[in-house]
Structure 1
């Protein structure tokens, strides 16, 4: 039996309506037409009332600072104080509740029942790190390798340490010293050079020829079963064949327990984010233009192969070449999408692991499962916007719910952020970050052709 979350409307105007989720997705409830469950004439419901993130069998509800609040099993969550505007309410700490089988959600006259179908554990499930029973912690995901939350918090989760211990466990050999780095056959890890949401990147040396490589270690946030591991490995195998001068090559990969590693070519120039920081926080158009063209060439190649990145941002555009003539390469091509598709990412929109999504387009919330090349266009456009201005296309006021900011839209024109950029270049970037997908370039190839015409 596969894991599934079902939401059935049992009372109210949409009684009889049902929603079923068998993979990672989002569900938005409110009065506006972009909500998945829309009740435009119900005055008890806010424009966007709540969001549920589902990664079966897990589900979490988040109130958007609604006027009347959301009730879960009779307990009120969210809502804003009397006299507060929607914008003021959204500045409150947004309230989230993990949902379980049998929970009841109520907003106004609408009542929803939550039903969770999940595989049951046949016995205790041990943390791969400390050995304690974590069956209660992982809920329905009671199969496969898992590191408990306490271990993650206590050790600040150095992914290399986790990988080291998992590799040692698989080999049946003692782990390296506590502060030691893992040994991966054919490579020697030297030091950590970057940290990301799912893990870290390490500088390593290939023993055969002493060449420098980068090794990315990603930690699954859920229990990893062998079927999912096998499917994920197959998808990564396809990415290894993605060869282009402007895409960071994946040279090898493997996994142990809940840790996954990827051997990649090393880009000595760091990321565009690093380059910006070393140059006052933004780049001159003439400096940025070759980088933008290179990035689009790599992305256009991937889109032509049917591959979507899903996590484009300045830190995922890496640089080689020389300081005066940098060559840009897109990193992590397809990794985020496939890691999430395998179910390893856990909750990425809500909860402690959710980052502020400066480079996320609206449809990544409203149409979560079906990201397309046009989604990458928004993110790469936002990356270029950031490179030239030092700002992001949206303002994220302190305290505001970032999800509500994204759903609301409100793109600030690039021309309002910075002066001196050629109008034709501004026009290309502003088209890329339009809210509606139909108003953008539909893939990186279209955007590349437009930018080439106005390149300075």
Structure 2
């Protein structure tokens, strides 16, 4: 094992390590899993990555030594005993599928989430399908371009990684795949066949050689034209309504599952088609199994109920995903982002999203309302079905009134007040008001030295007035400023402090409105108008800050409630994934 040899940055660590281990064995160095884990301790943090490395060594022992001691491998890694046995059974099943003396070859698929997957060689027969070439891989397994020898047509042959799932889930996967094969719609990629060959599950669907929507958005590097985005979303909604009417739910809609074929469709230069029906449940299970390391992809398009584990997933789940896809098309980014699965889950459960109209001025109020209704946290508040969504999308294109009720002014205000940004604004106002108070009182104190004084105001009174001003600054204004700084640094005690020191001037002003000013008599004297203006300014600025701080406290309490819900969601995800 050459520790000095750099790994290419474009490859995942597990792929790099498995490739290095293979090169070591080819060079006669029988490096073990333990050696690589000692060199890269982070591998042990992911159960899937560690299993891939263990299985890679097992296959290398079989290839180069002609045999291997399964008990030895299971003794070193007892947590993988059952999983290794299932994987070997799948491998043996693939080896048993032969035609014309051809055999399967064991290959690694670089870049796949599960680094070790069983591959088919070019020209190999899998049942009635002749493999042409490898196309790609994902969390579900591998995809090949193949030829259906009975019907003489190209198909996308998908072999999912279901070998290590419980038997009941494997059966459900096949049932959903077979049900998806009954769907016929111009915006659905046709599923021709699904089943098992020698216990190896597969799905054969129409082969779409074009880009998918994710690649299209990435190549553009900017939001789609709003009209184009709405037309795409309307077609996808039509397709999903067709599937829902026949009892098929996708559950894993995302841009990479929307193919853009070369055939024009209306004003579009391509035809959007949804693919990967039947793989959704499998993808959802895979995502939970690898939730600690998964970045981007499926979680961005999952509905809150999928994270929470509450209630069934169904039509509302697909409506949510369509809303997220449309949001991303018109703004250039998804409504929720995060560095990992749990960060995205936290954002989705909180449900705070910026209106797409604020990110793209070309988005109309009606379209923004449609998108926001699609991605409502509560499934009952979303569109009841995709047909209603498609209808509203087309109405918005035509400039006609859509069916959904727009939020009234009060609802928009509540939504605005609930945003986390309001907390930081309260902190900023507290700092600004503190600085203004210090500048005002200092300037007035200095200026009073040069103003004509009344005969009854001697220098001792003026000194006492200055001392009073300094005491007010030290005991009230400075703490208010520090409270604002604390709020900006996400310290909740700063909010409590801000409420206290914003309330003090309000109360004092109310109690002393009819009395002489406590400070700056030299400036105001008996001038009622001046005194009224000063009292009014102090009262309303601090009252506004008091309201803002009180709202900030309410928002923080709300955030903490959401944090508790999020923690409960994480526990349920961990329980279901474990």
Q: 2: CA distance between counterparts of 1:387 and 1:188?
A: 37
Q: Which residue of 2 aligns with 1:420?
A: 362
Q: 2: CA distance between counterparts of 1:380 and 1:408?
A: 19
| Partner secondary structure for residue 237 of structure 1 | helix
Q: Which residue of 2 aligns with 1:168?
A: 95
Q: Which residue of 1 aligns with 2:397?
A: 455
Q: Which residue of 1 aligns with 2:187?
A: 246
Task: Work out whether residues 240 and 386 of structure 2, in 8 Å CA contact, stay in contact via their aligned partners in 1.
Answer: yes
Are 1:220 and 2:148 an aligned pair? no
Q: Which residue of 2 aligns with 1:434?
A: 376
Structure 1 residue 388, shift from structure 2 partner: 1.6
Task: Work out whether residues 144 and 157 of structure 2, in 8 Å CA contact, stay in contact via their aligned partners in 1.
Answer: yes
Q: Which residue of 1 aligns with 2:142?
A: 200
Equivalent of residue 333 in structure 1, options 268, 273, 277: 277
Query: Equivalences for 1:88-237 in 2 at 5 Å?
Result: 132=70, 142=82, 146-147=86-87, 166-169=93-96, 175-177=103-105, 180-181=121-122, 182-208=124-150, 210-220=152-162, 222=164, 225=167, 229-237=170-178
Query: Equivalences for 1:17-416 in 2 at 5 Å?
Result: 132=70, 142=82, 146-147=86-87, 166-169=93-96, 175-177=103-105, 180-181=121-122, 182-208=124-150, 210-220=152-162, 222=164, 225=167, 229-255=170-196, 259-322=200-263, 324-337=268-281, 339=282, 345=286, 347-348=288-289, 350-352=291-293, 357-368=299-310, 370-396=312-338, 401-416=343-358
Task: Answer 1 or 2: which has greater strand percent.
Answer: 1
1:431–1:223 distance in 2 versus 1, CA, 3 Å: closer
Structure 1 residue 228, shift from structure 2 partner: 5.4
Task: Work out whether residues 145 and 258 of structure 1, in 8 Å CA contact, stay in contact via their aligned partners in 2.
Answer: no
Q: 2: CA distance between counterparts of 1:138 and 1:378?
A: 41
1:208–1:276 distance in 2 versus 1, CA, 3 Å: same
TM-score normalised by structure 1 residue count: 0.60
Task: Work out whether residues 188 and 274 of structure 2, in 8 Å CA contact, stay in contact via their aligned partners in 1.
Answer: yes
| Partner secondary structure for residue 246 of structure 1 | coil
Query: Could you list the per-position Cα deviations for residues 360-406 of structure 1 after superposition, in whole angstroms to 9, with x for gaps in the alignment?
Result: 12111123561121111111110111112210111326897333222
Q: Which residue of 1 aligns with 2:403?
A: none
Higher RCO by CA contacts (8 Å cutoff, separation 6 or greater): 1
Q: 2: CA distance between counterparts of 1:412 and 1:167?
A: 50
| Partner secondary structure for residue 307 of structure 2 | helix
Q: 1: CA distance between counterparts of 2:283 and 2:106?
A: 30
Report which of the two structures shows the higher radius of gyration computed on alpha carbons. 2
Task: Work out whether residues 174 and 201 of structure 2, in 8 Å CA contact, stay in contact via their aligned partners in 1.
Answer: no
Q: 1: CA distance between counterparts of 2:377 and 2:172?
A: 34
Task: Work out whether residues 271 and 318 of structure 1, in 8 Å CA contact, stay in contact via their aligned partners in 2.
Answer: yes
1:169–1:281 distance in 2 versus 1, CA, 3 Å: farther
| Partner secondary structure for residue 358 of structure 1 | helix
1:371–1:128 distance in 2 versus 1, CA, 3 Å: farther
Task: Work out whether residues 164 and 176 of structure 1, in 8 Å CA contact, stay in contact via their aligned partners in 2.
Answer: no
Q: 2: CA distance between counterparts of 1:245 and 1:138?
A: 49
Task: Work out whether residues 220 and 345 of structure 1, in 8 Å CA contact, stay in contact via their aligned partners in 2.
Answer: no
Structure 1 residue 304, shift from structure 2 partner: 1.5
1:276–1:366 distance in 2 versus 1, CA, 3 Å: same
Query: Could you list the per-position Cα deviations for residues 176-207 of structure 1 after superposition, in whole angstroms to 9, with x for gaps in the alignment?
Result: 35562442233332233333222232222333
| Partner secondary structure for residue 234 of structure 2 | helix
Structure 1 residue 233, shift from structure 2 partner: 2.9
Structure 1 residue 166, shift from structure 2 partner: 3.9
Q: 2: CA distance between counterparts of 1:348 and 1:165?
A: 25
| Partner secondary structure for residue 300 of structure 2 | coil
Query: Could you list the per-position Cα deviations for residues 299-346 of structure 1 after superposition, in whole angstroms to 9, with x for gaps in the alignment?
Result: 011111222111011011112243653111111124312x379xx748
Q: How well do the aligned residues superpose, as a CA RMSD in angstroms?
A: 3.8
Task: Work out whether residues 305 and 311 of structure 2, in 8 Å CA contact, stay in contact via their aligned partners in 1.
Answer: no
Task: Name the count of aligned residue pairs.
Answer: 318
Are 1:444 and 2:386 an aligned pair? yes
Task: Answer 1 or 2: which has greater helix percent.
Answer: 2
